[in-house]
Amino acid sequence: MDRRAARSDGTDPPQTKGPRLLSGGNPQILKGEGDGPVQAWIAAAPGWKGDLARRMDALIVEAVPGVRKAVKWNSPLYGVEPGTWFLSLHCFERYVKVTFFKGARLEPPPPGASKMPEVRYYDVKEGALDEGVFGEWVRQVSGIEGERL
Domain regions of the chain by residue span? 23-148
Q: What is the tens place of the pLDDT at every residue in 3-27?
A: 334 445 444 444 445 678 887 778 9
| Helix segments in 15-130, DSSP class H | 35-44, 47-63
Give 83's pLDDT tier (boundaries 50, 70, 90): confident
Whole-angstrom distance, CA of residue 59 vs CA of residue 129:
11
User: Can you give the pTM of this predicted structure?
Assistant: 0.85
pLDDT in tens, 49-74: 999 999 999 999 999 999 999 999 99
CATH number 3.90.1150.200 is the correct assignment for the domain at 23-148: yes
Q: What is the pLDDT of residue 25?
A: 79
pLDDT at 55: 98
Cβ atoms 149, 77 nearer than 8 A: yes
